[in-house]
Chains A and B, each alone.
Chain A
Amino acid sequence: MKNFKLFFLFSRNALRTTLQARSGVWFFMIGKICRFAFFFLMILLIFGKTKIVRGYSLPQMLVFYLTFNLIDTTAQILFREVYRFRYQVISGEFDLTLAKPFHPFVKILIGGVDFLDLLLLIPYLLLTLHFAWQTHAVTAFNLVAYFVLLFNSLLIATAFHIVVLALGILTTDVDHTIMIYRDLTGMARFPMQIYQEPLREIFTFIIPVGLMMTFPSQALFNLLKPSFFALAFLISFTMIFLSLRLWNAALKKYQSWGG
């Protein structure tokens, strides 16, 4: 389909642009690896000494974090272009995108694949599988459930990013909406059990970052009730539906910049 070809072209251009900024590439890689390593080491440090936190062993805590990291990184790989959206709106580039004969999402949502993160995804995946194995909980069934829920989490991530795009059109005030998303999802680096009620309920089901980041791991450890499985998909599909409605409404309210 044409949209795939366009996606390929946009991605190729994104790669070329990345390769142009050579020194920047090294810094970013170092920064991302440091951030990952620091969190990882911190979990080792804290939970290596503490036997069980709210019922979870060290390998389990690691898997929670590593799963969060997988989903977070994959979302950043796909949706990196959303981070540049505000600039496109302010500069008027978005208008030119709107007037083109393809759905704007092909450009503003997935038109800037992040190849640096893509490289890092492989070691992240390997580490995750390694520690998952160490929890002695892995069965074929759990593993399938895990990956199915990972996919579901990406659906939720998509909905969140579409909301960010819609807000980028609706309010010109806020320039860090996407970072709010990152901070919210960051709450789910660890199992949601660490939070008191009602925070836990709110951030698991209402702003479903908990669902998004921790349900796959829970399924892997056989801790997820089947009803929650179904609920996970119900929520993700609802979110996609609502986010698309919001986007379409936002387009009607769009006022563009400049005269």
Chain B
Amino acid sequence: MNKYLTIAAVTIKEYSAYRLSFILWRVRIVISVLVTFFLWNAVFDKQTHFAGYQKDTMLTYILVVNFVNSIVLGTKTAEIAGDINDGTIINRLLKPINFLSYYAYRDIGDKLLNLIFAVVEFFLIKTIFNITIVPVVNLPLALAFFATGTIISFFINLALSLIGFWTTEVWAPRFVFLTLVFFLAGSYFPLDLLPKFAYRLLLLTPFPYLVYFPVQIMLGKRLAWQEPLLFSCLWTAITYFIAITMWRRGNKSFSFWGR
């Protein structure tokens, strides 16, 4: 167990070698939060309600969603693709550590660090721009959704990297995923703003379960939780299965070339 906690600690420490880079990364996140926030702020300029949302609820949603985003979606697994490509993955595989556990703990370290910063930024923004935050409810249920959302995200990102076993074109699919995720996970607007049929269609994909549902539960907006939780667990299982299969098949078929 100690082995794995050390991995998480080392991951955090790695960031200290790239301090400027990390700070700028958080600055970028803050900028994108502010853009969406100000957009919605302007929408509520002359009206107090919009599509069933009050101003405070909407603004809280935007803030929370974007900060949670960086924690749920952030991952170190993207580096696996590069490692496969240049052969350094061999060193990883030769170590007496479960490869997937290694990356799970690496992500735990990564997410922990980002969480700390996200919390600080959240309170800074709230204070500077004088935002009223809607109180949080249903925390345990929300946390359950966060857990499944994080796991789904982990396996999807992992699978995207494992494509590297079969082709060097790894960035292109990831690019598509990232583009889709930012909208379909609800970062720019709450998904229930979409027309009904589009919304129902979206519920069949894993995207809403990453960030949207946990935040909605926390804001008290989503009272029927049974079906979404079921779907969330279903997607956890599916993405796990896909990632594991790719891992096993990839290991067998890959010839481990590299420079």
Hey, which chain A residues are within 8 Å of B173, CB to CB? 27
Q: Which of A103-160 contact B (CB under 8 A)?
A: none
* Interface-lining segment among A30-38, A72-80, A213-221, A246-254: A30-38
Q: Which of A165-195 contact B (CB under 8 A)?
A: 171, 173-177, 179-180, 183-184, 186-187, 189-190, 193-195
Does residue A19 face the partner (Cβ distance < 8 Å to B)? no
Hey, which chain B residues are within 8 Å of A54, CB to CB? 42, 45
Hey, which chain B residues are within 8 Å of A174, CB to CB? 18, 20-21, 24
Shortest A84–chain B CB gap in Å is: 12
Hey, which chain A residues are within 8 Å of B189, CB to CB? 42, 45-46
Does residue B183 face the partner (Cβ distance < 8 Å to A)? yes
Assess A46 versus B43: contact at CB under 8 Å? Given A30-B176, A183-B31, A184-B31: yes
* Interface-lining segment among B33-41, B144-152, B215-223: B33-41
Assess A176 versus B21: contact at CB under 8 Å? Given A34-B176, A52-B46: yes
Does residue A99 face the partner (Cβ distance < 8 Å to B)? no
| A50 in contact with B50 (CB, 8 Å) | yes
Measured CB to CB, the nearest residue on chain A to B193 is A45
| B183 in contact with A42 (CB, 8 Å) | yes
| B167 in contact with A186 (CB, 8 Å) | no
| B42 in contact with A53 (CB, 8 Å) | yes
> How far, in whole Å, are A222 and B83 apart by their CA atoms in the complex?
54
Assess A173 versus B50: contact at CB under 8 Å? Given A50-B43, A53-B42: no
> How far, in whole Å, are A199 and B193 apart by their CA atoms in the complex?
29
Does residue B51 face the partner (Cβ distance < 8 Å to A)? yes
Shortest B87–chain A CB gap in Å is: 16
Shortest B224–chain A CB gap in Å is: 24
Task: Show 22 A/B contacts (Cβ-Cβ < 8 Å), sorted by A.
Answer: A21-B169, A30-B176, A34-B176, A34-B180, A45-B194, A47-B43, A50-B50, A52-B46, A53-B42, A53-B43, A173-B20, A177-B24, A180-B27, A184-B31, A186-B31, A186-B32, A187-B34, A187-B35, A190-B35, A193-B42, A195-B38, A196-B38
| A31 in contact with B179 (CB, 8 Å) | yes
Hey, which chain B residues are within 8 Å of A186, CB to CB? 31-32, 35
| B45 in contact with A31 (CB, 8 Å) | no
* B169 partner, pick from A27, A32, A38, A173, beta carbons under 8 A: A27
Does residue A2 face the partner (Cβ distance < 8 Å to B)? no
Measured CB to CB, the nearest residue on chain A to B170 is A24
The total of chain B residues at the interface (CB under 8 A) is 38
* Contacts beyond the supplied A27-B169, A195-B38, A196-B38: 16 A-B pairs with Cβ under 8 Å: A23-B172, A26-B172, A27-B173, A32-B179, A42-B188, A45-B194, A49-B51, A50-B43, A50-B50, A171-B20, A173-B19, A173-B20, A174-B20, A179-B28, A186-B35, A194-B38
Q: Using an 8 Å CB-CB cutoff, how does the interface string of A9-33 with B read, 1 for contact, 0 for none?
A: 0000000000001011111101110
> How far, in whole Å, are A47 and B34 apart by their CA atoms in the complex?
19
> How far, in whole Å, are A35 and B173 apart by their CA atoms in the complex?
14
The A interface, classified by DSSP as helix, strand, loop or mixed, is helix
Measured CB to CB, the nearest residue on chain A to B17 is A173
> How far, in whole Å, are A195 and B45 apart by their CA atoms in the complex?
12
Hey, which chain A residues are within 8 Å of B253, CB to CB? none
Top 5 nearest A-B pairs by Cβ distance? A27-B172, A194-B42, A24-B172, A31-B176, A24-B169
Measured CB to CB, the nearest residue on chain B to A26 is B172
Hey, which chain A residues are within 8 Å of B21, CB to CB? 173-176
> How far, in whole Å, are A204 and B50 apart by their CA atoms in the complex?
29
Hey, which chain B residues are within 8 Å of A35, CB to CB? 179
Measured CB to CB, the nearest residue on chain A to B173 is A27
| A34 in contact with B179 (CB, 8 Å) | yes
Hey, which chain B residues are within 8 Å of A49, CB to CB? 50-51
> How far, in whole Å, are A171 and B179 apart by their CA atoms in the complex?
29
Measured CB to CB, the nearest residue on chain A to B28 is A183
